[in-house]
Amino acid sequence: MTKQLQIALFGCGNVGQGVFDSIQKKQLGINIVNVLVKDIHKKRTVPSNLLTTNAEQIFNNKDIEVIVELMGGIEPAYTYIKLALKNKKNVVTANKALLALHGEELQALAEQQGVQLKFEASVAASIPIIKVLQESFVANQIEEITGILNGTSNYILTKMHLGLSYNLALKQAQKLGFAEANPSLDVSGNDASQKLAILCHLVFGKSSGITEGIEKIDIPDIQYALEFGYIIKLLASAKREKDKLMVSTFPTLVPKEHILAKVDNEMNAIMVKGDLIGEQVFYGRGAGSLPTASAVISDILDLESHRIRLKPNSLKEKEVHSRWYVRTIVNDKPGVLAGIAKIFAEKGISILSVNQREDRFDGKVYLIFLLHEIDITTVEKALQEVENLDFVHEKPLLLKVEQKT
C-alpha cells in the first residue's frame, strides 16, 4: 500500500474548509493529521480530535511532511511558514499578500533547507498560471504578462457597463459574495497588484510598479470609453522593453475587440506573451473556496515532482508609458480648452483627441482628452497644474489606454 502524505492545515476559514472537505471526499493519498485554528469550539465539519491551537505540536511532529498555510494576512502566517521551512517541512500557501512582501526570502529559505514552497493558489485560484510559467514556458523569454486578476473589480466594472452606478454594482457584488464587507483591498487595485508582484518575481525578478483603483470611475467615463471604442478594465501588466520592465496595475481603456475586453463579471484572465509561444490567454475563476482548493491540492500532490525552475534575471524598472484618458469637469466658458491645452503643450504632451460633452450641469461640462503615449510622471505633473486652474472643479481622472491593433 502506498504511504499516505501526512499534512497539517493552518487555518480553517472558507478556503481551509474547502480544502479539508475536498480532500476528505476524494481518495488522494493525503491524510490530514491536524488543523490549526484560533478557536477549537467554533462550529466546523472538521472532527474535534484533529483541531489544535498548538502550532509547536505540529512543528515537532516528524510524521507531518507538509504545512498548508491558509490563514491569510502577514502575521502569524509569516512566522509559521519560516518555522515550517526551518523544520524541513514543505509548505503550500495561498497567501498572496505575504508572498508579494516576503516571497523572495521564503523561496530562498526553502531552497536552503532542501524543501519546497508552492503557491499556485496565490494567483487566480484554479488558473494554473504559476505552474505554466515555472514549467511549461521555461524555454521562453517572457515579454509580457497582462491580466484581469481581481474578480471583484471586474464584476463591478462589468455591471457599470450595463448602466449600474459604482455604488450599486459594489452592493450587488457584496450581496453575491464577490466582494467583502470592506472591499478596499480589491477596488483599490492592491489585490491585483500583489498577484502581479508574485508573477513578476517568477519571471522578471522583484518589482513594484504603480497601482490605481477603480473607485473614481463614474458612469460617464464608461459611456465615453464606449464611444471611443473601448471597455474599461482593471489591468495588471508587466511588459519587458529590452533590459527594462514596465509594471502597472491601473484602470485601462481596452479596445472592444481585445480578448481581455470580453472577460466579464467575476472571471479572471491572464495573457502571456513569449518569444516562442506568441500570445496565450488563460481564463477561469480566480477566487472562491473550491477553485482555490483545487490549486492547493494540486500543489500538495505535486510536491514529489522536481521540475526545472525558472531563474529570472532581475530587470530594472522603467517608468510607465502609455496613451492616456483624462476626464475633467470645467466651467462652460471660452478659453477653458486653450488653458488646459497650453499646460499640456508646455509639458510636451500631445493631444490625440478632445471631446467636450453636450450635457451640462450647474454651468459645468465634462471635457475629455485622449493623449498620445507619454510617461505617467509628465502627465501627473501636468494634471496637478490643471487641477489648480480656477475653472477646473475636481481632480482630473487619469486612466491608461491600450492601443488598438
**What would the pLDDT profile of 2-40 be if each residue is shown by its tens digit?**
578 999 999 999 899 999 999 999 888 999 999 999 998
pLDDT in tens, 260-283: 999 999 999 999 999 999 999 999
Compute the average pLDDT of residues 178-205. 93
Q: Is the pLDDT of residue 310 over 70?
A: no
Q: Which CATH architecture has domain 322-401?
A: 2-Layer Sandwich (3.30)
Q: Which CATH superfamily is domain 129-286+306-318 in?
A: Dihydrodipicolinate Reductase; domain 2 (3.30.360.10)
Q: What is the per-residue pLDDT for 359?
A: 67
Q: Is the pLDDT of residue 45 over 90?
A: no
Cα 385 from Cα 377, distance rounded (Å): 13
Q: Report the 10 Å Cβ neighbour count for 274.
A: 18
Q: How do the domains of the chain map onto residue ranges?
A: 5-118, 129-286+306-318, 322-401
Q: Is the pLDDT of residue 304 over 80?
A: no
pTM: 0.89
Q: Is the pLDDT of residue 405 over 70?
A: no
Residue 303: phi and psi, rounded to 5, are -65, -25
Q: What is the per-residue pLDDT for 179?
A: 86
Query: Residue 354: CB partners within 8 Å, gap ≥ 6?
Result: 337, 341, 367, 368, 369, 370
Instruction: State the chain's mean pLDDT as an integer.
Output: 92
Q: What is the per-residue pLDDT for 242?
A: 87
Over the range 258-267, which residues count as b (16 or more CB within 10 Å of their CB) and which as e?
bebbebbebb
Q: Is the pLDDT of residue 357 over 90?
A: no
Name the residue among 54, 53, 117 with its Cα closest to residue 89. Answer: 117
CATH topology of domain 5-118: Rossmann fold (3.40.50)
Catalytic member of 96, 159, 195, 400: 195
Q: What is the per-residue pLDDT for 306?
A: 46
Q: For the chain, how many residues are written?
A: 405
As a whole-number percent, the residues of the chain with pLDDT over 70 amount to 96
Split at pLDDT 50, 70, 90, the class of 1 is very low
Q: What is the per-residue pLDDT for 363?
A: 81
Split at pLDDT 50, 70, 90, the class of 308 is very low
Compute the average pLDDT of residues 210-225. 96
Compute the average pLDDT of residues 228-249. 95
As a whole-number percent, the residues of the chain with pLDDT over 90 amount to 81
Cell numbers given for 363: 454651468
pLDDT in tens, 130-174: 999 998 999 999 999 999 999 999 999 999 999 999 999 999 999
Q: Report the 10 Å Cβ neighbour count for 290.
A: 15
CA-to-CA dists, residue 229 to 158, 214, 327, 391, angstroms: 16, 19, 16, 29
Q: What distance lies between CA 390 and its chain's CA centroid? A: 38
Q: Is 195 a catalytic residue?
A: yes
